[in-house]
Amino acid sequence: MSDAYKDIGFDSNRIGFGRRAGIVVVDFQKGFTEGRFPLGGRPMVDRAVNNTATLLAAARKAGLPVACCYTAYSSARDAPLWKIPAVVNDFHHGHPSTELDERIYDKSYDMIVCKTAPSIFFNTAVASYFVKEGVDTVIITGCNTSGCVRASINDAFSYGFRVIVPEPCCGDVEEGPHRDNLRDVGRRYADVVGLDEVLAYIETAGRRNMTETP
């Protein structure tokens, strides 16, 4: 089957992993991961949380930096003009829907930021943190693929990082938008890969870090 994008040069090469990776975890807050909330309880998101927990355990063991974010506002008044009522009305500081899911968050290790826009990088210190840590590759996980994950991919690319997206570690409300958006960013900005490939890279990075430690 012909692919008009590839025919004109899209997705013509792999970006590949660099020397050191940082992992971002986008919006695995309870408002998205628990079914008691209007936006929660989606099977694809639950799958992504469990797979991300596996990835993060390896990343922390290897000493790689991890940045987690949640979305929250003081009130509906300071929220952007979201077309999603639950985000505007419920995602307020202190509301249980803004708490990070315990499966993915280690408060003794992870950087945590509150974001107010789709991307984890927008008006946060994540990019500068990664620069300080010597990161050249950003591995992006989280939800939702078609929204905040995609926005974070775009910004990581714009900052000049190599962008790697492990498909099993991202989730959305429906599979169609998840697949469509990953296919699209894979043509332009990122390598979309399996979890096993990322875990193999992290294991290698961990061994390299140990040999370089004074």
Residues with catalytic annotation?
148
AA letter at 187: R
Residues, the chain: 214
Choose among 116, 127, 43: nearest CA to 77.
116
Distance separating alpha carbons of residues 188 and 42, to the nearest angstrom: 28
Question: Around Cβ 59, how many Cβ atoms within 10 Å?
Answer: 24
- Cα 186–Cα 192–Cα 198 angle in degrees, nearest 5: 155
**At what angle are helices 43-61 and 195-212 packed, to 10 degrees?**
20
Which amino acid type is present at position 151? Answer: A
β-bridge pairing 191-193 and 137-143: unpaired
Structural tokens at position 24: 């971002």
